[in-house]
Amino acid sequence: MAETSYPQIRIVPARFLTPDTAEVLLNEILSKTGIRRIVINGPRVPETVPYGPARGTPNVIAQRREIEVQGETIKLQVQVGTILMELEDETPIPEIRKACEAVLTNFPFTLQEGRFMRSSMTMTDYAKYGIVEDERILGMVDPKSKTRPIILQGNR
């Protein structure tokens, strides 16, 4: 579960990122030290057509691909629109801002500090998920999801 003492930031670019840009940006950001958790957010790009007469057929999209971040392969399931991060402390924020400025040159972005991930379970969470054993994923993803979080070894 998120400790309230850990600072969180949110990066919102003015445009949705292509996997190429997302890959470069994430590599830049994650080369900094002091990042505890990170969520890549955006509208979902499903593998099969979810509705309509073509429901169930493969959704072949040129832009969706696996990205390589810090040596780990991440299968993007969204078009990257927002990046949420929890940090050890506030020291890497200026470096992260610089990394964003270096990569996101064609359009503006905002970098906000605040609370963006859930810090405790709500009543609805208990109703939906029951007791969640690994509380680190609270506020990040659906705890019942079969895909597990990717653990990056970091550089400390």
Partner 1 sequence: MAYKPQYGPGTSKVAENRRKQMNRDIKLEKIRDVTDEDVVLILGHRAPGQAYPTAHPPLAEQGEPDCPIRKIVAPTEGAKAGDRVRYIQFADSMLNAPSQPYQRTYTEMYRYRGIDPGTLSGRQIVECRERDLEQISKDLINTNLFDPARVGIRGATVHGHSLRLAEDGMMFDMLQRCILDKDGIVKYVKDQIGTPIDKKVAVGKPMDEKWLGENTTIFHVLGGNPYRNDAEYIEYIQRIHSLRTKYGYMPKE
Please report, as ranges, the residues that interact with partner 1 according to CB under 8 A.
13-18, 21, 43-46, 49-55, 57, 59-63, 79, 81, 106-107
In the numeric block, which tokens belong to residue 107? 């359009």
Sheet holding 109-114, edge to edge: 35-41, 82-87, 8-13, 109-114
Q: Which of 8, 5, 44, 36 is nearest to 149 (CA)?
A: 36
**CA gap 31, 12 in Å, rounded:** 19
CB of 146 to partner 1, least distance (A): 21
Cβ 137 vs Cβ 143: under 8 Å: yes
Report in angstroms how near the CB of residue 44 gets to partner 1 at its nearest.
7
Which lies closer to partner 1 via its Cβ, residue 44 or residue 146? 44
Q: Which is nearer to partner 1, 51 or 153 (CB)?
A: 51
- Which is closer to partner 1, CB of 99 or CB of 104? 104
Shortest Å, Cβ 48 to partner 1: 10
